[in-house]
A and B are shown apart, each in its own frame.
Chain A
């Protein structure tokens, strides 16, 4: 069935360093890939997304890259800050449906 694998499950970095989270999806018909940040006790917040017709998208310190051939996409956070600490989820839309399959989440901790 449809599947999204996400690595690593936990990531600790020093403030100012970069963080990279990687996802792999199984459905070759997927064409929309959002990333969500979830802080403790809150709902997931959409931080960036990418569609299959582009290979990279950037928004200030956050960037997402997509390799459709390899079915990989990654989240890059540069100059990390303590407030970036949260759980991050990748997701892939399944084919022509409205269904998002989520990865298992990455707990990012940024130490001052």
Chain B
């Protein structure tokens, strides 16, 4: 009965590679988000989508590209991975703007 799920849970890869993280929510929510949590636990929004439309795009390098095939899914594709991309990435969803946000379990990305 997982509400917001992410795959994979762990991802270890080398610099320069391209990787994707998948997110799915079964809450019927219209809005989904990607957050990055760095090694100091600082949590920062990267993107938000509402009904497959990009709403928030923080100052994230264009190597990061979110894709929403439908409103239950929001995937994150990262090109040319760098050491500084190592972090935990969280997907979240909500009913809409200003509503409660529910987080997934996270994907720990390690770039070597």
B 87-106 binary contact with A (CB < 8 Å = 1; else 0): 00010001011101111111
A-B interface pairs (CB < 8 A), number: 53
Q: Is B63 an interface residue (CB 8 A)?
A: no
Q: Is B15 an interface residue (CB 8 A)?
A: no
Q: Is A61 an interface residue (CB 8 A)?
A: no
- Residues on B with C-beta less than 8 A from A102 are 42-44
- Inter-subunit contact B43/A44 (CB<8 Å): yes
Q: Is B31 an interface residue (CB 8 A)?
A: yes
Q: Pick the contact of B97 from A43, A44, A98, A105 — CB < 8 Å?
A: A98
- Residues on A with C-beta less than 8 A from B43 are 44, 89, 102, 105
For B, the interface residue count at a CB cutoff of 8 angstroms equals 24
Q: Is B25 an interface residue (CB 8 A)?
A: no
Q: A97-B56, A98-B31, A102-B44 are in contact. Are A46 and B98 (CB under 8 A)?
A: no
Q: A98-B97, A99-B56 are in contact. Are A44 and B90 (CB under 8 A)?
A: yes
The CA of A32 and the CA of B99, in the complex, are separated in Å by 9
- Residues on A with C-beta less than 8 A from B103 are 36, 43-46
B 37-55 binary contact with A (CB < 8 Å = 1; else 0): 0001111110010100001
User: What is the chain A residue whose CB lies nearest that of B33?
Assistant: A98
Q: Which of B101, B104, B105 is packed against the most chain A CB atoms within 10 Å?
A: B101
- Inter-subunit contact B101/A34 (CB<8 Å): yes
* A positions within 8 Å CB-CB of B: 31-32, 34, 36, 38, 41-46, 49, 87, 89, 93, 96-100, 102, 104-105
Q: List 15 A-B contacts (CB under 8 A).
A: A32-B98, A34-B101, A36-B103, A38-B41, A43-B90, A44-B103, A46-B101, A46-B102, A87-B41, A97-B56, A98-B50, A98-B56, A104-B41, A104-B42, A105-B43
The 10 residue pairs across chains A and B that have the minimum distance between CB atoms: A43-B103, A102-B43, A98-B97, A44-B103, A43-B105, A105-B41, A43-B106, A32-B98, A43-B104, A98-B48
